[in-house]
Structure 1
Amino acid sequence: MAVIVLAAVFLLIAVRQVGRFTIRIWQVMLGGAIAVLLTGQIALSDALRAINIDVMVFLFGMFVVGEAMVDSGYLSCEAYRLFSRAKNPDQVVLTILFAMGILSAILMNDTIAIIGTPLVLALATKWKMSKKLLLLSLAIAITTGSVMSPIGNPQNLLVAVNSGMASPFLTFAAWLIVPTVVSLFAAFIALRLFYPQEFSARAVEPDTAVPCDDSLFFLTKCSLAIIFLLAVMKIAFSLAGIQNPVSLPLIALAAAAPVLLFSPRRFSVLHAIDWPTLVFFAAMFVLMESVWESGFFQSFVDSGSIASVPFILGSSVIISQFISNVPFVALFQPMILQAGGTTAQLMALAAGSTIAGNLTILGAASNVIIIQNAEKQGETLTFFEFARVGVPVTMIQIVIYWVWLAVVTG
């Protein structure tokens, strides 16, 4: 019964529409969790234990920090200062790819999708460039950039926490920074090939002032500093061989503390954070635990195929288009761990499930956020406009990660 419920959930996530009604992913997952509880597939006590508190606390803390940065306009102001240094279209696109990519590795990709969309649309107007090109650049940047960090996106967080990595920042950096940088350069080349006319010299509109709320600036700077310092501390403890007291949830809560304790707008920030995603995760943990207890998928574990990095990369990219990357990782990671769970396999799972967002619009929630925000300003990307660039970019990136993981593993 649990597997039947899971199949129904995946089908509804893939379709996302029943008649005239559009169903959100978190609603589908919550319905699945309620179904396995009501049918007795998992006891309430087991369901509560299945919810990973570390993941929930980390997401809550990072959502608070991200919302405070969006609300204050701090990131927008810093981004405008950064882009004011661009001298030509090549530098504009490269700055989008690398600046937004690095930011997504620190603050999670959905946060950067929210603040980045109006920014790149304004840049397109200023530089008289294609808005579609810059929206694509943003989408590819935040998807690809988030690969190289355990806190870049929710699926990476699941990989880091559920596998019990002693030093997730070091592990992700050692295995994934190099191929991610190469992948961003490859994306730039692809964008240049698909939009060659957009890279010619052109006159530039003067910069306009960006409205900023200085009252939150100090607090958001404190939050960023805490994330950086605690991440460095975690890495230092790991390198020194000392038992690490700094956990990912602690980093997120400490970073959120300045906003929650001292901001006069703490309640508006709390109201605006992404509560549906927290509901989605809690429900997903319950449903996946029920499915795992059924023993159905354990019978399909074949260590030969599961151990194959190309298989993991390819299946992650393809299946994530239909069931979303987070539930795919939640389902597939226990199978990998049961089959041996090497670091190379886990890094392939993190990379493949993330770059799946570059293949089509449906591959990542951040793509949907970008398009929804762009449509508010009268611009959009169709499914085929996205896939025309996204498919070849993703194929190239799969090869890049495959080759690099093969090199690292010897």
Structure 2
Amino acid sequence: MILITDDSTLILAAVLVAIACRQVGRVRLPIWSIMLGGAGTALLTGSIGLIAALHAINCDIMLFLFGVFIIGAAMEESGYLTHLATRIFASQRSVKKLIFLFIFTMGAFSALLMNDTLAIIGTPIALVLARSCNISDRIFLLALAGAITTGSVASPIGNPQNLLIALSSGMANPFLTFPLYLAVPTLISCLILYYMVVRTIPQMPNSPSPIMQEAHIQDPKMAALCKISLALLILLIALRILLVSLGHTPWPGLSGIALIASLPIIIFSRQRLVILKKVDYATLVFFIALFILMAAVFESGAIQSAVTDNQILSIPLLIAGSLIISQIVSNVPFVALLIPMLIEAGAGDAMFLALAAGSTIAGNMTILGAASNIIIIQNAEHRGATITFMEFLRFGIPVTILQAVVFLTWFLIIT
């Protein structure tokens, strides 16, 4: 347990409470602004110096996120990802097959482009599919939320907390280690999600009309650049895996992969300024503030004094704690707090991957468990649809429990 013994831990406690509440009067506070306020307070109170704060910012993570956000923004602006998705779904005439394909397609995309990106792009697709099938919008919105959360588990770049773990844990080859440990339980968890989604449909349509029309690419030139960027992203990841497998120094770094892959869009697109404006700068600010505040807490010694190997190095406790605490403070701050504790305790890859799994599938339990859930609901409400907190909870609790059992069983078998 971390005791509140100085300014930094007091600030952290206030930030976590504010994130859990997220509202002051009628004002809904975005998480990035709460974290920025905490980091600013830490600097003002002298809990961390300016130079130490600058050193605390993980430039690899910031540059990686920036590169991926550029690619995601370009794919959204050009209509390329929507075109790809509708091309996959347009020929489907079975609702069950469509839901299966939707879950696994969105899960696969999220493993490559991050779940928050898919939350933005996937919401209108989910609503079109639901209305084409003449079933509740809620069904496909729940399927989307579950798919992009679950599918992102087995990838070091599938979600922000996995990226934190991949770059901060000292993992030698995260692109191999993550799927090696997590691919099988992730696939099983996607099947569980499919089963739970299908059973929520009161009456399955027998002979649905053609599901949806193939969406046209809005900007063919930008879409062509997106194809090049995606190909570069995949090739550079494969190159890094190959070099590590052959015992060579891994190249390029994660930040290099994302930045190199985004270069065709930045250099050759005439819409580069439009794309740069669409980058999710709020998330970038959130991470900068997160690094500063967590460094202040770490400098105080509160984390080191809280570490007991028996508590922190227990996979069942780690997964269970991740599921519960992520509902209160969200998964990224929780993971940022746990990483230095695991490092101090001498944790191996399995412990960090258990943290990745537990903190990620926590997003399937409640709306507040993952930022991608909030993004989906906000986008859906702009289009006249929504999921209530209780609807999400009734669906999410059994899904999360079943998935947690799968991951826990898997870890107990392989470790």
TM-score (norm 1): 0.98
Is 1:111–2:111 an aligned residue pair? no
Distance in 1 (CA, whole Å) between partners of 2:349 and 2:129 is: 40
Partner of 1:304: 310
1:140 pairs with one of 119, 131, 146? 146
What is the CA deviation profile of residues 3-57 of structure 1, one whole-angstrom value per residue up to 9, with x for unaligned ones?
0000110011111100121111000000000001000111100000000000000
Q: Does 1:63 align with 2:69?
A: yes
How far residue 341 of structure 1 moved from its aligned partner, in angstroms, is: 1.3
Q: How far did residue 144 of structure 1 move?
A: 0.3
Quote the Cα distance in structure 1 between the aligned partners of 2:178 and 2:34: 31
List aligned pairs for 1:122-271, cutoff 5 A.
122-197=128-203, 199-205=204-210, 207-208=212-213, 210-212=215-217, 213-271=219-277
Deviation at 1:365, TM superposition (A): 0.7
User: Which residue identity is paired with 2:207?
Assistant: R
Q: 1:9-20 residue pairs with structure 2 within 5 A?
A: 9-20=15-26
Distance 1:35 1:95 in 2: 47
2:385 is the alignment partner of 1:379: yes
The SS at the match of 1:227 is: helix
* Separation of aligned partners in 2, 1:381 and 1:104: 21
Q: What's the CA shift for 1:71?
A: 0.5
Matched with 1:332 is 338
1:363 to 355, 366, 369: 369
**How big is the shift at 1:211?**
3.8
Identity of aligned residues (%): 50
The runs of 5 or more residues in structure 2 that have no matched partner are 1-6
Match of 2:35 among 29, 34, 37: 29
Instruction: Structure 1 unaligned segments of length 5 or more: list them.
Output: none
SS in 1 for 2:172: coil
Shift of 1:297: 2.2
Deviations 1:197-233 (A, max 9, x none): 2x34133156435242212111000110011000111
Contact 1:128-1:204 at 8 Å conserved across structures: no
CA contact (8 A) 2:91 2:211 kept: no
Matches of 1:372 and 1:196, distance apart in 2:
26
- How many corresponding residue pairs? 408
CA-based RMSD: 1.0
Q: What CA deviation, in whole Å up to 9, does each residue of 1:250-293 have, x standing for no partner?
A: 10001110111110000010011100110000011000000011
* Separation in structure 1 between the aligned mates of residue 327 and residue 177 of structure 2, nearest angstrom: 26
1:265 maps to amino acid? Q
Compute the TM-score of the two structures, normalised by the length of structure 2.
0.97
Q: Is the contact made by 1:127 and 1:202 (CA closer than 8 Å) also made in structure 2? A: no
